[in-house]
Amino acid sequence: MQSSRALRALPVVLWLVLRPSLAAQARYRVTTDGAWFFQEPGGKRLARLARGAIVVGGEAQDAWQGVTLEGWIFATSVGATPRAGYDLAVTRAPEENLRSAPAGALIAKLPQGFLLSKVAEGTAGSWVHVTRAGWVEKSAVETVAQVASSDTDSGGPTPGPRPGAPGTPGHGPGVGPPDTNPSPSAPVDPSRVESARRTVLYRAPEGAPTGTLAPAAPLRVLGRSGDWTRVELEGWVKSADLEIAPPGVLMGITAAELRTDPQRYAGQVLRWTLQYIAEQQADELRPEIPNGSRYFLARGPLPEHGFVYVIVPEAKRPQLESLSPLATIQVTARVRTGRTRFLGNPVLDLISLETLP
């Protein structure tokens, strides 16, 4: 009798064991920019999700979908936590980005104190691989087609190697069907997009135009902010139209890049165009600047709207006396730190300064 009851219960046990693994294979794409990630259905709001981010599905409950965030975060922006069930907490104020890969597409903006679990063997240079389970509203996500075929799921024959894969016969590069209309089972990379029409390219949100993109220009998404998307464009220009940087000087580096990877740029020399604001004297609230040193506060690098601290050596101080507030200047400076502890602003050591018209 006991044996019969055990056999009748066996299918139920197997269903309970298999169900989580099947649910874990589901993928959802966030369709609403800034959608909330909740601690529990209808519970505490924890973080904002980026439109296009891919999350792993879990169980569903009425109008709610359980999901797991999985991504990479900068190692210096998290610290150990005593909270049971978690390894790390976000330490950067007010928030830090969670990305799909080191320096990859944005998944979410995590506020200070947000709890995370570290993935085993989850480090890559200055980045940490982390996860966090929670809930989203079903209206804020859509399902993503699975890579595995239905034949495989049903126990049918396993598909053969895809054409063109290394070590297998198939079409060479440039031969065969284009990738612009992939099959429903093909994986989607939300960071790869193209311009839908002739599009103006801006140097910064609400900033000055810097060029025009032709329709179908290939782009890679680097981040999003409200109605704006930061993109990376690859192309070719005539060498005669380029300004060559002086030896050992970096050009085209943004403050956002310094804040994202401060260790990489520490000690590097760069050239920035800034808007001078005022000269100040360092105190204990600026631990990255020697106490008592003179520095000036500037906005930039233009057209960015953030702030930069530039330490001025004694020999360069007379140049500051002729500067008026909001003057546009070009500086060559060495990076002392890409991100201060409290405000996250870059700190530079001035090498040379030039006033621009």
Residue 171 has pLDDT above 80, yes or no: no
Average of pLDDT values for 59-82?
92
DSSP-assigned letters across all residues of 94-145: SEEEEESSTT--EEEEEETT-EEEEEEEEEETTEEEEEEEEEEEGGGEEEE-
Give the model's pLDDT for residue 278. 93
Q: What is the pLDDT of residues 287-335, one digit of tens each?
A: 899 988 999 999 999 888 889 999 999 998 888 888 999 999 999 999 9
User: What's the CA gap between 357 and 201, in Å, rounded?
Assistant: 24
Torsion of CA 69, 70, 76, 81, to 10 degrees: 60
Give the model's pLDDT for residue 19. 41
Quick one: how far is CA 143 from the chain centroid?
Answer: 22
Residue 224 has pLDDT above 70, yes or no: yes
Q: What is the pLDDT of residues 39-58, one digit of tens each?
A: 999 899 999 999 999 998 88
Nearest to 280 by CA among 298, 303, 255: 298
Strand order across the 192-194 sheet:
192-194, 218-225, 228-233
Higher-confidence residue: 331 or 228? 331
pTM for this model (two decimals): 0.41
Residue 259 has pLDDT above 90, yes or no: no
Give the model's pLDDT for residue 273. 94
Tokens describing residue 183: 């099959």
Q: How confident is the model at residue 238 (pLDDT cuts 50, 70, 90)?
A: confident
Higher-confidence residue: 215 or 111? 111
Give the model's pLDDT for residue 295. 95
Q: What is the pLDDT of residues 201-216, one digit of tens each?
A: 886 776 667 788 887 7
Average of pLDDT values for 122-140?
89
Q: What percent of the chain has pLDDT over 70?
A: 78
Give the model's pLDDT for residue 165. 36
Residue 117 has pLDDT above 90, yes or no: yes
Higher-confidence residue: 262 or 272? 272
